[in-house]
Amino acid sequence: MFKGFDVRVWPSRLVVRYFVVFVVLAFLFTNYYLWSDWQTWDVDSYQPPSGPGVAQHPIKKLMKDARARHNEQLSRRSLDVATAAARYREARGRHPPPGFDLWFQAALDTDAVIVEDFFDRIYKDLTPFWGMDTKMVRDRAHSWPWVVRVRNGTAHGDGDVEGRVPWLQLWTGLVGEFAEGMPDVDMPINYMDEPRLLVPHNQIAKLVAKEAKERKMPDAKDVKREYQGLAAVDEAKPKLYDPRWYGFSDSDYWSLAAKTCGPNTPAYGVKAEKDFSKPAEFPSHYKPSYVEEGYILNWTSAMDPCEQPHLRQLHGSFVEPVSMSSTDELIPLFGGSKLPMNNEILIPGAMYLTDDEFYSGGESHGPQWHWKKTAAIWRGDASGGRAKAHTWHHFHRHRLVDMLNATTVSTAEASGKRPVTFEPPDTSIYSSSRAESKELGKWLGTFADVGFTYLCPPGQCDYLTDFYHVVERIPMKTQYTYKFLPDADGNSFSARFRGFMRSTSVPLKATIYAEWHDDRLTPWVHFIPLDNTYRDLYPVLEFFGDGPGGQGDAAARFIAEKGRIWAEQVLRREDMKLYVWRLLLEWARVCDDERHALGYVDDLLL
């Protein structure tokens, strides 16, 4: 070693050695600093800040309570099939469906987090079908024009998809990953962006009551394990069951939707808005049950239009959707998103199954927190429904962009005249020195970078030119260099949310669209919830946007990191597959003449 190295020549061996060590350390340190991004930051030991000032803020309490709720949920994680089956029986009042053991094994094999609550949506969606005649359900599912079918353990997509988006292929691909060992099943899918089923409340209530009355848990020895299969219905080839579809000439969307609201909800019997020429109207003295001190407490209610009749003039889906073809009859239909009041059966949006960077943000999840700009960014089309000259100011996307437009807000502050799209937040609920000193507009000038990348075909929306101009698109990975990512519904749900969740930035979300993942995400832990009016938008951004060293900033970073790590555990393709797998086991049972006798009971017979 070191043969021929002359120790008498400067630099001495010792100095060289120190130098080499220094270079190596410097190299390692730089690498660590540059690339440590997500692996090394110990989120779980991190506590949201508690100090004077912040301690008083309602958001701090909401974060603390939400964390406790999430941890409590995690403590009920099932780690073996017997526990999972027991929790199933306790929650659902039935035996799990046959095939539950294979399903659970696949969950174990992929380290999936299995908490029974995460699957609540499946039962909300399927319950009414238990109240319907089995053959009717089976025939209607079979005869739909677009169906993912499983036969003899193989999945194939059935239907004419020429010139259409590849949703049927994407969903068939997902089902194909677990079709082996599955019972025969037909999954009819909705090919429209908008959900289509709006069955009036009293009809659903009857079906739900019937299900509850007939629900039973037979003795293990009487339980059947074999599904009857669908050979008979393939043979019989039932004709398409096409219910009456309502279009714009029959009704407006709100009037059909409000019929699904129960008699105890605020929207019950509320008529559609007829006059959209007035400015968008926030409800006054608004203290809904799902809010605590002005901030979202209960996310499930916060996305439910039955709880918020004012949304009939504050969301594009109710002002005027792009298309409308709805029925008030219950037919089986699976889709990627719906309003809580729709009767579709939810599956993960097909966009979540593509590699399209537009939705996923690609493999770039953004830089570390301290390299991000303390600012909010939003880009998107002026969609969200069919806006017109006399209605556009009631649209949710237009409201979001206007509220974050520094010019609009400064002008309103200077003139004292409210903008047409929104009302300034109520200072009796939200205290804000910026709002009081009329400096919100000035602040937004550096804090918000928002705009539409597309307004309408040339010349067709000149009424918007005083309010908006088209701005350049910004790729997702560049958007991730901003800390705050507000997310707004489009014509239906915003398929960017999963990409936002997986990024190192923090998503802020208001929506009226339910998705498969809702029961596994906890607001204030994994993302920041917003009211659909956006009246809490400024107070939320002011709290979290206090910049490096600030306590709100640390809290935002916590949610960003916690959300990203959680998304990598429960929003993976494997998790979507497990969700649909379990759903289709249940669905195959609902469609089986022996539905009440079928079950998984191996754990009880040991």
Ligand X SMILES: *[C@@H]1O[C@H](CO)[C@@H](O)[C@H](O)[C@H]1NC(C)=O
395 closest CA partner among 334, 324, 453, 313: 313
Q: How far is the CB of 565 from ligand X (least distance, A)?
A: 22
> In the structure encoding, which two tokens stand for residue 131, read together?
């109240």
Choices 310-318, 462-470, 499-507, 586-594; region in contact with ligand X by CB under 6 A = 462-470
Which of 134, 255, 300, 432 touches ligand X (CB under 6 A)? Answer: 300
Which letter does DSSP use for residue 459 in this model?
Answer: T
Which of 102, 375, 461, 471 touches ligand X (CB under 6 A)? Answer: 471
Residue type, 481: T
Q: How far is the CB of 602 from ligand X (least distance, A)?
A: 25
Q: Which residues contact 218 (CB under 8 A, 6 or more apart)?
A: 95, 596, 597, 599
Torsion of CA 567, 46, 44, 577, to 10 degrees: -10
**Bridge partners for 151 per DSSP:** 154
Is 227 a binding residue for ligand X by CB under 6 A? The answer is no
Is 469 a binding residue for ligand X by CB under 6 A? The answer is yes
Angle ∠(170,171,172) on CA atoms, nearest 5: 90
Q: Which residues contact 289 (CB under 8 A, 6 or more apart)?
A: 298, 301, 307
Q: What is the DSSP string of 73-135?
A: HHTT---SHHHHHHHHHHHHSSPPPTTHHHHHHHHHHTT----GGGGHHHHHHHHHHHTS-HH
Which of 61, 89, 151, 210 touches ligand X (CB under 6 A)? Answer: 151
Which of 408, 504, 511, 522 touches ligand X (CB under 6 A)? Answer: 408
End-to-end CA separation in angstroms for the chain: 67
Q: Please, what is the angle between helix 167-176 and helix 573-590, to 10°?
A: 90
Q: How far is the CB of 308 from ligand X (least distance, A)?
A: 11
Which of 30, 71, 277, 411 touches ligand X (CB under 6 A)? Answer: 411
Residues near ligand X (CB under 6 A), total: 14
Give the C-alpha separation, 285 to 561, whole Å.
35
Is 228 a binding residue for ligand X by CB under 6 A? The answer is no
Choices 138-146, 250-258, 464-472, 565-573; region in contact with ligand X by CB under 6 A = 464-472
Closer to ligand X by CB, 43 or 270: give it. Answer: 270
Burial (Cβ within 10 Å: 0-12, 13-18, ≥19) of residue 109? exposed
Site string for ligand X, 270-299 (x = CB under 6 A): ----------------------------x-
Closer to ligand X by CB, 225 or 469: give it. Answer: 469
Closer to ligand X by CB, 164 or 469: give it. Answer: 469
Q: How far is the CB of 573 from ligand X (least distance, A)?
A: 27
Choices 52-60, 185-193, 463-471, 494-502; region in contact with ligand X by CB under 6 A = 463-471
Closer to ligand X by CB, 36 or 411: give it. Answer: 411
Which of 12, 202, 325, 407 touches ligand X (CB under 6 A)? Answer: 407
Is 422 a binding residue for ligand X by CB under 6 A? The answer is no
Which letter does DSSP use for residue 220 in this model?
Answer: G
Question: Are 440 and 472 contacting, i.e. CB atoms less than 8 angstroms apart?
Answer: no
Residue type, 73: Q
Closer to ligand X by CB, 203 or 298: give it. Answer: 298
Which of 254, 467, 543, 581 touches ligand X (CB under 6 A)? Answer: 467
Is 152 a binding residue for ligand X by CB under 6 A? The answer is yes
Choices 100-108, 114-122, 191-199, 407-415; region in contact with ligand X by CB under 6 A = 407-415
Choices 267-275, 405-413, 431-439, 596-604; region in contact with ligand X by CB under 6 A = 405-413
Residue type, 560: A
Which of 78, 405, 421, 511 touches ligand X (CB under 6 A)? Answer: 405
Residue type, 526: H
What does each C-alpha distance from 29 to 22, 26, 367, 501 come to in angstroms?
Answer: 10, 5, 17, 29
> In the structure encoding, which two tokens stand for residue 577, read together?
């597959």
Q: How far is the CB of 294 from ligand X (least distance, A)?
A: 17
Residues 348-387 that bind ligand X (CB under 6 A): none
Give the C-alpha separation, 20 to 449, whole Å.
46
Closer to ligand X by CB, 155 or 585: give it. Answer: 155
Residues 278, 284, 290, 293, CA torsion sign = positive
Which of 254, 352, 422, 468 touches ligand X (CB under 6 A)? Answer: 468
Choices 381-389, 438-446, 461-469, 597-605; region in contact with ligand X by CB under 6 A = 461-469
Which of 73, 301, 364, 481 touches ligand X (CB under 6 A)? Answer: 301
Which of 97, 131, 451, 507 touches ligand X (CB under 6 A)? Answer: 451
HSE toward the beta carbon, residue 420, CA cutoff 13 A: 16
Closer to ligand X by CB, 407 or 460: give it. Answer: 407
Closer to ligand X by CB, 233 or 495: give it. Answer: 233
Closer to ligand X by CB, 298 or 481: give it. Answer: 298
Give the C-alpha separation, 401 to 328, whole Å.
35
Q: How far is the CB of 202 from ligand X (least distance, A)?
A: 19
Q: Please, what is the angle between helix 100-109 and helix 81-92, to 10°?
A: 120
- Residues of this chain that interact with ligand X (CB under 6 A) are 151-152, 298, 300-301, 405, 407-408, 411, 451, 467-469, 471
